[in-house]
Structure 1
């Protein structure tokens, strides 16, 4: 997977012509089995991205979020005929493997940076919700289903809560309530004075 991702980082994007709706596609492809297909609106905003890393598949759509799936390759070449089987629910192991594979990217390709940020945020959400663990070995054969999650050890630190920040948030909330109350009392007083 690392070789495929490194080749993806070095690939030159191929930009398709705008469609009827003005949306265009940008395609990154590595011969080692990594592919990133991005759909961009006329203003240049990414609307959808499909990332394939060997047999792993992640799809992000604006307004919908992130989904996972697996890719089944038919034919001798990887690109001959690929069938994507979407997962019924988000599979954290697939998401974490993709996030870990892309976290080393330090280039300036805006499309790779976008999917890298999407996956990093999704990974952070899993960590904060307590549902993240370190992915185990690569996914098994399609008939065996998704790979199980290994227990979290050292790659994903447990979330910590800063007590100073928590106290500061409580103080700020109380201050805002006091300001709102004083403003309300002054507003009512001014209204009564004008009447």
Structure 2
């Protein structure tokens, strides 16, 4: 089926905005239907619970069908119908998977609505959110489909100069040469200290004996 022209879509949507909603009687569960019908090929059928919350909406726009259900989400399909209005001979053919193009066309058709009809505003928000999700999903897909950047070559580690090479023993430091003059001086100082300690010991013993 060929896509409807933008002029036909605009005319159908404008007529939908001007359509007077028709409310049906509440059912056994308290749910009632609200029907917006455009003679130009647009139709919005809403189902509302006792508290006035929208539970389900079906938007038909020139043969394309979008269905939103609370807790389920948005689905798409196409409608075969006689004339512009819903008839008993109308048949909805749901898509196996939601078709993004149908959701985008419906969102674009309703995006300029600035009225106060709460049911049209509701389906407008639903389609706007679906459009935003499609845009985000498309951006994520383009990112994930991009080929990965080539990995940078791993840096080559340079062995430290102080690290020993495997299989060889580390070289021992060479002892410094001994200065004979310094060695003689150390010996002389040691003997002097021993003599001083010996004299101190003798003086101490003499003082002890004198006191006794």
Give the count of matched residue pairs: 131
Out of 86, 89, 95, the position equivalent to 1:79 is 86
User: Conserved in 1, the CA contact under 8 Å of 2:40 and 2:84?
Assistant: no
Query: Which one has the bigger strand percentage?
Result: 1
**Offset, 1:79:** 3.1
Structure 1 regions of 5+ residues with no counterpart?
133-195
* Structure 2 counterparts to residues 129-168 of structure 1, below 5 A: 129-130=137-138
Distance in 2 of aligned mates of 1:77 and 1:102? 19
User: SS state of the match for residue 126, structure 1?
Assistant: helix
Distance in 2 of aligned mates of 1:32 and 1:129? 33
User: SS state of the match for residue 38, structure 1?
Assistant: strand
In the superposition, the TM-score normalised over structure 2's length comes to 0.60
Change (3 A) 1:108 1:76: closer
Aligned residue in 2 for 1:61: 69
Structure 2 regions of 5+ residues with no counterpart?
1-8, 141-212
Distance in 1 of aligned mates of 2:23 and 2:41? 19
Question: 1:127 and 2:135 equivalent?
Answer: yes
Aligned residue in 1 for 2:56: 48
Q: Deviations over 1:70-116 (max 9, x none)?
A: 0112x456433211100000100000000000001000000000000
Aligned residue in 2 for 1:146: none
RMSD of Structure 2 on Structure 1 (CA): 1.5
When Rg is computed on C-alpha atoms for both structures, the one with the higher figure is 2
Change (3 A) 1:76 1:126: closer
Change (3 A) 1:43 1:77: closer
